[in-house]
Chains A and B, each alone.
Chain A
Amino acid sequence: MTLRIRRIAYRFALLLALAAVVPLIAYGFVSILSLQRGTRESVIAGNQNVATRAAEEIRRYVVTHADLLRALSADLQDTGLAQHQQDQILKNFVLQFREFREITLFDENGATVATSRVGKPRITIPKNGQPVAERVTMSSIHVDDDLLPTTVFSVRLTKLNEPSGWLTGEFNLEEMWRMVDHIRIGDHGYALVIAPGGELIAHGDPDKKALVARTVNMAAHPLMAIAPAQADAPTVSREYVDADGQNNLGVAARIAQLGWTVIVEQPTAEAYANATVLQRQLLIAISLGLLLMISVGYLFGRSFINPILALKRGTQAVAEGQLDTRVDIRTGDEFGDLGDAFNTMADRLVQLQEDVKRQERQTMFGRVAAGLVHDLSHPIQNIGNSLRLLERDDLDAESRDLFRRTIGREIATLKRFMDDLRHLVKPKPIERFAMDVTGSVAEIVEAMRGEAERSGLTVETSYAEGPLLINGDRFALGRVYRNLISNAIQATEPGGRVTVTTARSGDRVEVRVADTGSGIPADRLTAIFDDFVTTKRRGLGLGLAISKRIVEQLDGTIVVESEVGRGTSFTLGFPASDESSRHAAAS
């Protein structure tokens, strides 16, 4: 679909929008991209910082407790303490440091020397521990009797550089959870600690501690694959979807001394919340700016084209004939000049119209006068001639009678002429009665046959059999027939033919008057029924106009067909009357 902007106001609005808003949108787009990138880098840097510090805190927490156990071993070794005293020290130590669930002192043979437990010790000497501090090793994470991950510190005791036993302490990872719980980013960013084998040691999210209890292996965590192996290596980060389908931003930092990995993860929605808010505000600002620019452009465009619209309306009004229309444009610029020019043009048009009317009136008057002179002069001259001849005494009775008939005929002609004029000024009302068209046509034809024959014409008739009934005005229609036949006689050269037919066509009755005369040029056919239009050299041109008016008053039609040089035919059509009317007419 192609959007076509036809109105100047819209074009202006669009122009302004494109000119002002496109740069705005481009700026907004660049700003948003920059904001997103900047925020992401800033958040990642912050989270990396947190992860690094968290890793360091956890390392320090573990190593400090390993050191504490080593310090305890120094208190127990070579101090001459009795077994019950060592026992008491261990008990006090466990009370002091809840992180140790149990501490037991073993001799080189693995026999219990002293223990913090009231009953029998639960822990044994771990094997293959990982060194976490001087002489202190930490066992790999294993699951205890309660199916929770746990680990054991062991301090190698020596006497005179010879191995002399072990001090072992069960390190309470649940106590470490409390510390991990305090590592928070935002409201939903938590830390988790993963052992080298992928065992989850701690999770800061209270609802995810279940993962620790379920001994879930986190080796497949998206960050574990890319976590740095070296402590001084930079932290790594990535975004990923977790098992709950939540998008997270995670940062991993390795505690090389322990082999643990600290992951700090935060839902991206929260991590980028500030950027999202800023982005939303920017979008709103751009949208408002866009709407404002479009509105301003539209209003400016409207004010710009108002004079044009006024001129357009004025032009349309003038075109519709309202020549008194004027425009009021007071902009003081070119539009104002254009408005003044329009008003001047309208004044001139009014003047020209008056001139044209005057000329038309003069032409019409001349034509009417000429027509009157022509139509009246011939009968008057005949009457005058006949009267002068009648005054002669040498006229025989036959000639006298001829001249008297001539006078009577010419007076009748004058009377018809006067009737036509009267009918034009004040048409006679139509009085409808059932009538036989063929009969009325035949009467007129027979009345005019003599005139036709005097003009050297042959009159042919073809009437329908039986009566053709219509509801018509016999006298008005007689005038119509007489007009048409008279026109045919006048238009036909001697030797020509005038044909009059009546016929029934469906529910209509038709009367056709055709001649073999000169015909009417096609460009004048449409105007022949107008007042004062004639193809004849003389006459007012009222006959056909009056005839058409009468026919239409009787719900009839009049159709003309003509060909120059071959003749003209007029066909009248009337609705046929019903059977009852037929009977009425017959009676």
Chain B
Amino acid sequence: MDDQRRLFGLATVCVAVAAVLLTACRPATGEQSSSSDPIALHVGVPQLPANATNGLRQLAQNQAVESLASVADDGRLRPSLAKDWRVSTDGLTLTVNLRSGVTFHDGTPVTSTIVANSIRQTLPSVMGTAFTDIEDVATAGETQVVVRLRHRSPFLLDALEVPVPKPGAALTGTGPFIVEDQKSPTELKANPKYYLGRPTVDRILVETFPSVRTAWAEMLRGRIDMLYEVGVDELDLLEASTNVAIFTFARAYQYAVVLNQESAGLRSKEVRQALNLSIDRDALVQKVLRGHGTVSFGPVWPHNFAARADWPVFRFDPKLAAQKLAQTSGSRGDPLRFTCLVRPNELDERMSLVLKQQLEAVGIDMNIEEAEMDRIIDSLNHRRFDAVLLESPNGPTLLRSYRSWHSGGPMNAHSETVDTALDAIRYAKSEEEYTKAVGSFQQAAIDDPPAIFLAWVERARAVSKRFIVPLAEPGRDILSTLRLWKPATDQRVANRN
């Protein structure tokens, strides 16, 4: 019996050894630990002097100051600080109901009086010349703001995306994060009293870098958790990484060459049409943006609810462009020459070089001149330019298009045709009328183009996989969900912050 037991024991050992051999390659499970260290998010922002928008301030404002409403990808509005709103039947009164119980970062309750004062200050910059449509901004009770109009204007609803800072403190709002220092908004902390819940991330530490490439290199080095903007050149190199997640979204920022219709060579509509017809936008998107963009055939954000796919657009037609140019140059046959101001960054430089190449193919000589943003703005304001290559916000709402392309806007365009079309949108009395007017605006941009419309640029943000990022609505920036970000389960990695 003992021998039998010994033999079975021997067999068991054999089987056990075999089992060990067979399972020897099983990976070990990682251990997890927890920590109560504050969760910090390091954000790298390229601080380009040539940028139209200051990334650092934009990020701070985005997280600290909320708007009455947020704009969806289709240009429609969603309630934010405003609980809801109502337009009177005559269309001349807009009543906005505010959320109750909301406070500013300094503890001041959000009241209709404060909001009314705030938007009285911010609405002019948001609405531009359309602000003249507003008769007054008043209050009704603690939570109602009443805006009275001189005449109907759908732009007032678009203007509800106006940020509502506390008067006198541009970066003090009701958002999920609090800016520590208003002058140097490099550090944000979680708003513990945020009405939708305290953010998981305790602090956001923003570091600026002189270029997109420098910020990207810092991301590679693992010194920052989020790259505010990933350049198109670096996007492919980061996409393969298992440590970094790339989030792309179609941004309603449009690359366009703004044309000065008072410039000698660009007065003719036919010339400006010829310029638009000369551009192979698909090649442009591929060569310059490495495919991270959408061709742009007009000034209207293609995802806007009023946009239509069957609108007339500028197709790449160099022959037709050459014909139009030949018609306009007359017997002299002088080639068209103009100078385009370009911001000093690699992407704009490359974009302008490709444009120059394409225009040269139809006999247009575009001289490229590098210019700082201040000079460009000054040139636009004083109409001392032929053309300017810009990337500007032209959507998702038509209010932004109106501000860009109506006379008196930052582009300082002067086209009666375009102005008329934009005014038709501004005074539309119904959605049908509004949609029709938007179509007219597109047609006007074809007939009397104020710019060479090039492309809508896809933006990308890179976030270390140390953080779990909930997906935003389709087409929306992931920063809209920043308050919901949380460290990945593996606390050992997350706490390296």
Distance of B239 from chain A, by nearest CB (Å): 8
Q: What 1/0 flags go to B193-237 for Cβ under 8 Å of A?
A: 000000000000000001101100110111000000000011011
Residues on B with beta carbons closer than 8 Å to the beta carbon of A147: 214, 217
Measured in the bound complex, the distance between the Cα atoms of B361 and A95 in whole Å is 15
Is the Cβ of B213 less than 8 Å from the Cβ of A148?
yes
A118 adjacent to B353 (CB under 8 Å): yes
* A549 at the B interface (CB under 8 A): no
- Contact yes or no, A146 B217, CB < 8 A: yes
- Smallest CB–CB gap between B332 and chain A, Å? 22
Task: Tell me whether B14 and A209 are in contact (CB under 8 A).
Answer: no
Q: How far is the CA of A452 from the CA of B214 in the complex (A)?
A: 138
Q: When chains A and B are docked, how far (Å) is the Cα of A5 from the Cα of B3?
A: 6
Contact with B along A84-120 (1 / 0, CB 8 A): 0000000110110000010000000000000011110
Would you call A95 and B353 a contact (CB within 8 A)? yes
- Residue A3 contacts which of B6, B25, B349, B350 (CB distance < 8 angstroms)? B6
Binds A, one of B240-248, B264-272, B450-458: B240-248
B1-24, CB < 8 A from A: 3-4, 6-7, 10-11, 14-15, 18, 21-22
Let me know if B482 is at the binding interface, CB within 8 A: no
Interface segment among A62-70, A173-181, A577-585: the answer is A173-181
B97 at the interface (CB under 8 A from A): no
Q: Which residue of B lies closest to A4 (CB)?
A: B3
A553 at the interface (CB under 8 A from B): no
CB distance from B88 to the nearest CB of A (A): 53
Confirm or deny: B443 has a beta carbon within 8 angstroms of a beta carbon on chain A.
Answer: no
Picked from B10, B241, B350, the residue with its CB within 8 Å of the CB of A206 is B241
Given the interface pairs A5-B3, A287-B14, the reply to whether A206 lies near B242 with Cβ below 8 Å is yes
Do the beta carbons of B241 and A209 come within 8 Å of each other? Answer: yes
Number of A-B contacts (CB under 8 A): 94
Q: Is the CB of A287 within 8 A of B4?
A: no
The answer to whether the Cβ of B357 comes within 8 Å of any Cβ in the partner chain is: yes
A291 vs B6: C-alpha distance when bound (angstroms): 16
Q: Is chain A's interface secondary structure helix, strand, loop, or mixed overall?
A: helix
Q: Tell me whether A210 and B220 are in contact (CB under 8 A).
A: yes
Question: Do A94 and B353 form a contact, CB below 8 Å, given A207-B243, A209-B237, A287-B18?
Answer: yes
Whether B214 and A6, one on each chain, are in contact in the complex, defined by CB atoms closer than 8 angstroms, is no
Interface contact B213-A146, CB-CB below 8 Å: yes
Q: Is A219 an interface residue (CB 8 A)?
A: no
Evaluate contact between B3 and A209: CB separation under 8 angstroms. Answer: no
Is A528 an interface residue when CB atoms closer than 8 A count as contact? no
CB atoms of A118 and B357 under 8 A apart = no
Question: Is B149 part of the binding interface, using a Cβ–Cβ cutoff of 8 Å?
Answer: no
Are B3 and A91 within 8 A (Cβ)? no
Flag whether A212 is at the interface (Cβ < 8 A): yes
Name the one of B22, B218, B242, B350 contacting A284, with C-beta atoms under 8 angstroms: B22
Cβ-defined contact, B217 with A148, below 8 A: yes
From A116, A206, A290, give the contact of B240 (CB < 8 A). Answer: A206
Minimum distance in angstroms from B290 CB to a CB of chain A: 9
Q: Which of A118, A174, A206, A283 contacts B352 (CB 8 A)?
A: A118
* Contact residue among B3, B18, B214, B342 (Cβ-Cβ distance under 8 Å from A118): B342
Q: A6-B3, A146-B214, A276-B25 are in contact. Are A91 and B221 (CB under 8 A)?
A: no
- Report whether B353 and A119 are in contact in the complex, using a CB–CB cutoff of 8 Å: no
Given A7-B4, A118-B349, A206-B242: A280 and B22 interface contact (C-beta under 8 Å): yes
Chain A residues in 8 Å Cβ range of B238: 206
Contact check, B370 vs A283: say whether CB atoms are below 8 A apart. no
Within 8 Å by CB of B350, from A10, A95, A210, A214, lies: A95
User: Looking across the interface, which residue of chain A has its beta carbon closest to that of B213?
Assistant: A146
Quick check: A174 and B237 within 8 Å, CB to CB? Answer: yes
Chain A 180-215 per-residue mask, 1 if CB under 8 angstroms from chain B, else 0: 010000000000000000000000001101101110
**In chain A, what residue has the closest Cβ to B344?**
A119
A394 interface residue (CB < 8 Å to B): no
Residue numbers in A under 8 Å from B233 (CB-CB): 174
Complex Cα distance, B210 from A276, in Å, reads: 50
Asked if B221 contacts A178 (CB within 8 A), the reply is no
Q: B369 contacts the other chain (Cβ, under 8 Å)?
A: yes
What residues of chain B lie closer than 8 Å to A148, measured between beta carbons? Answer: 213, 217
Q: Are B236 and A145 in touch, CB under 8 angstroms?
A: no
* Interface secondary structure of B, over-half rule: helix
Q: Range of interface residues on chain B?
A: 35 or more
Residues of B within 8 A of A178 (CB): 236-237
Contact, CB under 8 Å: B237 / A117: no
Question: Is A294's CB within 8 Å of the partner chain B?
Answer: yes
Q: In the complex, A91 Cα to B21 Cα: how many Å? A: 63
| Contact A95:B240 (CB < 8 A) given known A118-B344, A148-B217 | no
Residue from B7, B210, B234, B243 in contact with A145 in the complex, judged by beta carbons closer than 8 Å: B210
The docked-state distance in angstroms from the alpha carbon of A214 to that of B353 is: 32
Q: Which of B320-355 contact A (CB under 8 A)?
A: 342, 344, 346, 349-350, 352-354
Nearest-neighbor residue (CB-CB) of A286 within chain B:
B18
Q: What is the CB-to-nearest-CB distance from B171 to chain A, in angstroms, rounded to a whole number? A: 29
Specify the chain A residue showing the minimal Cβ separation from B214.
Answer: A146
A186 to B357, CA, bound (A): 42
A209–B210 Cα distance when bound, in Å, is: 21
Q: Is the CB of B237 within 8 A of A206?
A: yes
Q: For B350, what are the chain A residues with a Cβ–Cβ distance below 8 Å? A: 95
- Please give, as numbers and ranges, the residues of chain B lying within 8 Å of A95 by CB-CB distance: 287, 350, 353-354, 357
Query: Which residues of chain A from 1 to 51 have a CB within 8 Å of any chain B CB?
Result: 3-7, 10, 13
CB distance from B390 to the nearest CB of A (A): 15
Measured between alpha carbons, how far is A92 from B360 in the docked complex, in Å? 11
C-alpha gap A488/B346 in the complex (Å): 139
B220 in complex: contacting residue of A92, A119, A209, A294, CB < 8 Å: A209
Q: Which residues of B contact A94 (CB under 8 A)?
A: 353
Given contacts A119-B344, A146-B213, contact A207 B241 (CB under 8 A): yes
User: Quick check: A283 and B21 within 8 Å, CB to CB?
Assistant: yes
Q: B368 interface residue, CB < 8 Å from A?
A: yes
B356 within 8 A of A: yes
- Which residue of B3, B217, B243, B369 is within 8 Å of A7 (Cβ)? B3
Q: What is the bound-complex CA distance between A494 and B349, given in angstroms?
A: 153
Q: A148-B213, A181-B240 are in contact. Are A210 and B221 (CB under 8 A)?
A: yes
Residues of B within 8 A of A91 (CB): 353, 356
Q: With a CB–CB cut-off of 8 A, which chain A residues contact B353?
A: 91-92, 94-95, 116, 118
Q: Which residues of A contact B21 (CB under 8 A)?
A: 280, 283
Q: Which residues of B contact A291 (CB under 8 A)?
A: 11, 14
Whether the pair B243, A283 counts as a contact (CB closer than 8 A) is: no
Q: Which residue of A lies closest to B240 (CB)?
A: A206
Cα–Cα, bound, A387→B273 (Å): 178
A109 to chain B, nearest CB (A): 24
Look across to chain B and name the residue whose beta carbon is closest to the beta carbon of A116: B353
Return chain B residues, CB-CB under 8 Å to A13: 7
A284 to B368, CA, bound (A): 73
Q: In chain B between 345 and 397, which residues have their CB closer than 8 angstroms to a CB of chain A?
A: 346, 349-350, 352-354, 356-357, 368-370
Rounded to whole angstroms, the CA-CA distance of A517 and B82 in the bound complex is 135
Contacts of B349 in A (CB 8 A): 117-119
Q: Which residues of B contact A7 (CB under 8 A)?
A: 3-4
Nearest CB of chain B from residue A193's CB, rounded to whole Å: 15
Measured between beta carbons, the chain A residues less than 8 angstroms from B356 are 91
CB distance from A286 to the nearest CB of B (A): 9
Please give, as numbers and ranges, the residues of chain B lying within 8 Å of A117 by CB-CB distance: 349
Chain A nearest CB: distance from B460 CB in Å?
A: 15
In the assembled complex, which residues on chain B have CB atoms less than 8 Å from the CB atom of A207? 241-243
A181 to B234, CA, bound (A): 13
A-B contact pairs, 6 of them (CB 8 A): A6-B3, A10-B7, A178-B236, A178-B237, A206-B242, A287-B18
Chain B: residues with CB nearer than 8 A to chain A? Answer: 3-4, 6-7, 10-11, 14-15, 18, 21-22, 25, 210-211, 213-214, 217-218, 220-222, 233-234, 236-238, 240-243, 287, 342, 344, 346, 349-350, 352-354, 356-357, 368-370
Given contacts A3-B6, A214-B220, 10 further A-B contacts (CB under 8 A): A7-B3, A92-B357, A95-B353, A101-B346, A118-B353, A118-B368, A147-B217, A276-B25, A287-B14, A287-B15
Shortest 3 CB-CB contacts between residues of A and residues of B? A213-B220, A206-B240, A119-B370
